[in-house]
Amino acid sequence: MSSPIWHPFTQHALTPDATLVNCGEGAWLETEKGRLLDAISSWWVVTHGHRHPKIVAAIKSQADALDQVIFAGFTHQPAEDVARALIEIAPHGLSRVFYSDSGSTSVEVALKMALGFWRNQNKARTRIIALEHAYHGDTVGTMSAGARGVYNAAYEPLLFDVVRLPFPQAGQEHQTLERLEAAAADAAALIVEPLIAGAGGMKIYPPALLHDMARICRRHGTLLIADEVMTGFGRTGTLFACQQAGVTPDILCLAKGLTGGSLPLAATLCSQEIFDAHYSTDRSRTFFHSSSFTANPIACAAARANLQIWRDEPVLERIAMLGEMQEARLARLRGRFENVRRLGTITAMDLKVSDPGYLASAAPDLIRFFHARGILLRPLGNTIYVMPPYCVTAEELDLVYNAIAEAAEKFP
Ligand SMILES: *Cc1c(COP(=O)(O)O)cnc(C)c1O
């Protein structure tokens, strides 16, 4: 019997039936067809590994106390604790936390906060500036800020215009900064993925450039939105990528790793100025945004446990070690791939093909190739990347990189 499910980013006419997964543990998934090494952290969300015991325990215990509650006019301890903890660890200067339930909604909230900030001061600044190759989610607002391509061509008539900055290629960074300088003065906000464009192909740019972009924004009063949905919680080697550039954004978007990747939860942090622009006895200045499951208590309990793990366990040391292990294995692949690169715990390399890009014909074959070898990898077009959970061992990484080396032979 075929399943009635319509899967995300899946062309069902070309893709074999979805693999049934029964359980997960550490870096592994147990499927109906055997074990799979989860080398992409189940789409970039699982940080410490599947089913970290402290997160599982927190979820169980919260489920026994309060499952869900309306969040307008009501609050609960897990949400209060997580908000305070986030403000403590986030770049200094962020003082308010707005909850939602996915990366996309955290970015929608950020864009709406930025627009409300200007409107409530009667200033006509509505333009959003974004980077080439950006990905900020799959809702209409976040697609608008994201790069245009085959995956959103059908929705193009609904997308709003943004000022698009050229991606800061090595040697051409000045073009990015000049375009920003020209557009910033009357724009509402610049939104960036700090240090690495993820879904856009794991394209990396240096902290100095993020620092320069932040400086230009500051000078023109343009709000800076840091979309750390992917980069947050250690992926780039520091807790947040912004820290490497010494930058405090006006708005910070967090999701994927916030609960250690166990449950959907997102948070949008903002500066006091943005909150204050909405603070008024005039009810028309209210921040009009909500989702039914805003700050779900079980998800917040999972996030609270995750933040406790960051305090109790040597996570940053583990991440530094993982970076070194990745680097050593990557070195063997230089020459076999193009643009072999690493940022923190993330590595990426481009397969030389005649049709590069998201629809590169090699991509589905590569996915099957790795799957057959017990490895979950899901190249972005001809870009193969490895983004494992932090618990992954050297031996497990060898399995991943041996398969990639084999792929280099098989897919010339
Ligand atoms: C994944 C991602 C999003 C969207 O998050 P969802 O939880 O999938 O909606 C937004 N921004 C970035 C940078 C992402 O990597």
pLDDT reading at 40 higher than 90: yes
Domain ranges of the chain: 21-48+314-410, 56-312
2 pLDDT band, cuts 50/70/90, is confident
Q: Which two tokens stand for residue 256?
A: 């994927």
137 pLDDT band, cuts 50/70/90, is very high
> What local confidence, expressed as pLDDT, does residue 357 receive?
81
Cα 205 to ligand 1 centre (Å): 19
- How many angstroms separate the CA atoms of 50 and 56, rounded? 10
Contacting residues for 316 by C-beta, under 8 A, at least 6 apart: 234, 238, 239
Cα 158 to ligand 1 centre (Å): 20
Cα 75 to ligand 1 centre (Å): 26
pLDDT cut 90: percent of the chain above it: 96
Going by CA atoms, what residue is nearest to atom 11 of ligand 1?
Answer: 136
Cα 137 to ligand 1 centre (Å): 5
Contacting residues for 287 by C-beta, under 8 A, at least 6 apart: 98, 112, 113, 116, 278
**pLDDT, tens digit (0-9, with 9 covering 90-100), for 270-322:** 999 999 999 999 999 999 999 999 999 999 999 999 999 999 999 999 999 99
pLDDT reading at 361 higher than 90: no
Residue 137 CB less than 6 A away from ligand 1: yes
Cα 103 to ligand 1 centre (Å): 4
Closest ligand 1 atom to the C-alpha of 230? 15
To which H or E segment does residue 214 belong?
A: helix 207-220
Average pLDDT of the chain?
97
Residue 196 dihedral angles phi and psi, to the nearest 5°: -155, 125
Residue 232 CB less than 6 A away from ligand 1: no
Residue 106 CB less than 6 A away from ligand 1: no
Q: Count H helices and E strands in the chain, helices first.
A: 12, 16
> What local confidence, expressed as pLDDT, does residue 144 receive?
98
**pLDDT, tens digit (0-9, with 9 covering 90-100), for 236-279:** 999 999 999 999 999 999 999 999 999 999 999 999 999 999 99
Residue 192 CB less than 6 A away from ligand 1: no
> What local confidence, expressed as pLDDT, does residue 1 receive?
61
**pLDDT, tens digit (0-9, with 9 covering 90-100), for 190-217:** 999 999 999 999 999 999 999 999 999 9
Query: Does the domain spanning 21-48+314-410 belong to CATH 3.40.50.1970?
Result: no
Which CATH architecture does the domain made up of 56-312 adopt? 3-Layer(aba) Sandwich (3.40)
Least confident of 178-182, 323-327, 363-367: 363-367
Q: What is the 3-state secondary structure (H, E, C) of the chain?
A: CCCCCCCCCCCCCCCCCCCCEEEEEECEEEECCEEEEECCHHHHCCCCCECCHHHHHHHHHHHCCCCCCCCCCCCCHHHHHHHHHHHHHCCCCEEEEEEECCHHHHHHHHHHHHHHHHHCCCCCCCEEEEECCCCCCCCHHHHHHCCCCCCCHHHHHHCCCCEEECCCCCCCHHHHHHHHHHHHCCEEEEEECCCEECCCCCEECCHHHHHHHHHHHHHHCCEEEEECCCCCCCCCCCCCHHHHHCCCCCEEEECHHHHCCCCCCEEEEEEHHHHHHHCCCCHHHCCCCCCCCCCCHHHHHHHHHHHHHHHHCCHHHHHHHHHHHHHHHHHCCECCEEEEEEECCEEEEECCCCCCCCCCCHHHHHHHHHHHCCEECCCECCEEEECCCCCCCHHHHHHHHHHHHHHHHHCC
pLDDT reading at 32 higher than 80: yes
> What local confidence, expressed as pLDDT, does residue 149 receive?
93
- How many angstroms separate the CA atoms of 302 and 264, rounded? 10
